[in-house]
Structure 1
Amino acid sequence: MMKKLALLIGSIFLCSGTFATENEIKIPSKIKEVTVFQKGAQIYKTGSVFVEQGVTDLLITDLPRNINQQSIQVKGFGNFTILSVNYQLNYLKSQKDSKQIKTLKDSLEMLKFTKKDTENKIETYKAEETILLANKSIGGDQSGVSITALKEAMNYFHVKLNEIKSKELELNGSLSKINESITRIQNQLNSLQSKLNNPTSEVLVKVLAKERTKAVLDLRYVIYNAGWTPEYDLRAIDIAEPVQLNYKAKVYQSSGEDWEDVRLTISTGNPQISGVKPEIYPWYVSFYEPPQVVSRGYAPKAKMAVVYDEMEIVELDEEEEAVAEVSYFEATTNQTNVEFNIDIPYSVPSDGKAYTVQINEFNLDAHYTYYTAPKLKESAFLLAQITGWEQYNLLAGSANIFFEGTYVGNSTIDPQTANDTLNLSLGRDEAIVVSRTKIKDFESQRLIGLNKKETFGYKIEVRNNKNATISIIIDDQFPISTNKDIEVEQIEKSGAKFNETTGKLSWEFELKSLESKPIEMKYSIKYPKDKKIEL
Structure 2
Amino acid sequence: MQAYLSKVRKVFTVTEKYRSIKIAAPLGLFSLAALGMAPAQAANSSIEQVTIYQGLASVTRALPINGNGEQTLIFSCLSPYLDKDSLSVQAGSGVNVGEVSIETLSGEQAAQCQYQGDTEVQAQQATLADITAELEAANLAKSYMQNLTKVTQINTDGTLASNARDLETQAVAINKRILDIQQRQARAQDDLNQLMAGGATSTSNSVTQVSVRTASRTPSSIKLHYQVRGASWQPTYQARLDTNTEQLNISASAIIAQQTGENWLNIPLTLSSVNPNQNTTGQLPRVERLSLYDEESRMMADDHLPVPMVEEMAAPAYARISDGAPAPELPTFTVSSQNKNGIIEYKLPQRVSIPSDGRHVRTVIDEQSGTSNLWIRSTPGVEAAGYWYASAPFLTPAWVDGSMQLYRDDNYIGQSRYSYQTLKEQGIGFGIDRNTIVKQIADEDTQGDKGAFNRTQTLTKTEAYEFTNQHSRTMRLQVLGSEPVSQDDSLNVTVNHTPPVTERDWNDNQGMIAWEFDLPSQQTKVISSTSQVSYPASKNLAVR
**Partner residue in 2 for 1:95:** 114
Q: Deviations over 1:79-111 (max 9, x none)?
A: 132111122234313233545534542342233
Taking a change above 3 Å as real, the CA distance of residues 307 and 412 of structure 1, as seen in their structure-2 partners, is closer
* Identity among equivalent pairs (%): 14
Q: Which residue of 2 aligns with 1:40?
A: 56
Deviation at 1:472, TM superposition (A): 0.6
Report the equivalent of 1:76.
91
Contact 2:391 2:424 in 1 (8 A): no
For 2:212, give the aligned amino acid: V
User: Is 1:346 paired with 2:346?
Assistant: no
Match of 1:425 among 416, 424, 429: 429
Matching residue's letter, 1:88: E
Q: What is the CA-CA distance between 1:37 and the residue it aligns to?
A: 0.3
Which residue identity is paired with 1:398?
Answer: S
Query: What is the TM-score when the length of structure 1 is the normalising length?
Result: 0.65
Alignment match, 2:172: 166
Q: Distance in 2 between matches of 1:244 and 1:353?
A: 28
Structure 1: where are the runs of 5+ without partners?
1-15, 139-148, 292-301, 310-334, 444-454, 479-489, 524-535
TM-score for the superposition, normalised by structure 2: 0.64
Native 8 Å contact 1:387 1:420 kept in 2 = yes
Secondary structure, aligned partner of 1:392: coil
Matched residue pairs, number?
431
Pairwise CA distance, 1:466: 4.0
SS at match of 2:427: strand
CA distance in 2, matches of 1:308, 1:426: 43
Structure 1 counterpart SS, 2:115:
coil
Matched, 1:49 2:55: no
Partners of 1:81 and 1:459 in 2: CA distance: 82
1:383: Cα distance to partner? 0.6
Could you tell me how far 1:218 is from its partner in structure 2?
A: 1.8
Indicate the residue corresponding to 1:23 in structure 2. 39
- After the TM superposition, which residues 101-180 of structure 1 pair with which residues of structure 2 at under 5 Å, given as runs? 101-132=121-152, 135-136=153-154, 138=155, 150=157, 152-174=158-180, 176-178=182-184, 180=186
Q: Deviations over 1:374-433 (max 9, x none)?
A: 7887754221234575x5233221112344555443221135x73851421123455x44
Matches within 5 A, 1:85-484: 85-91=100-106, 92=109, 93-97=112-116, 98=118, 100-132=120-152, 135-136=153-154, 138=155, 150=157, 152-174=158-180, 176-178=182-184, 180-181=186-187, 184-185=190-191, 187-188=193-194, 191-192=197-198, 194-195=200-201, 198-209=205-216, 212-238=217-243, 243-273=248-278, 275=280, 287=299, 304=309, 306=311, 338-342=343-347, 344-350=349-355, 351-363=357-369, 366-372=372-378, 380-386=386-392, 389=395, 392-404=397-409, 406-415=411-420, 418=422, 421-429=425-433, 432-434=435-437, 436=439, 460-463=466-469, 465-467=471-473, 469-474=474-479
Q: Deviations over 1:163-210 (max 9, x none)?
A: 34424542453355356436634653564455568333222111234x
Structure 1 SS opposite 2:66: strand
CA distance in 2, matches of 1:265, 1:521: 56
Q: Cα gap change, 1:66/1:520 in structure 2, threshold over 3 Å: closer, same or farther?
A: closer
Mapped partners of 1:246, 1:494: distance in 2: 42
Relative to structure 1, is the Cα distance of residues 505 and 50 closer, same or farther in structure 2, using a 3 angstrom cutoff? closer
Shift of the 129–272 alpha-carbon distance from structure 1 to 2, 3 Å rule, reads farther
- Once superposed, what is the RMSD of the aligned Cα atoms? 4.7
Unmatched tracts of structure 2, length 5 or more: 1-31, 315-339, 445-460, 484-493, 505-509, 531-544
Give the number of the structure whose alpha-carbon radius of gyration is greater: 1
When residues 164 and 418 of structure 1 are mapped into structure 2, their CA distance, relative to the original with a 3 A threshold, is: closer
Separation (CA, whole Å) in 1 of partners of 2:481 and 2:227: 55
CA apart distance, 1:56: 1.7
Over 3 Å counting, the alpha-carbon distance change for 1:282 and 1:43 in structure 2 is farther
Q: Give yes or no for contact 2:115–2:196 (8 Å, CA) kept in 1.
A: no
Q: Choose between structure 1 and 2 for higher RCO, CA contacts under 8 A separated by at least 6 residues.
A: 1
Give the SS at the match of 1:38.
coil
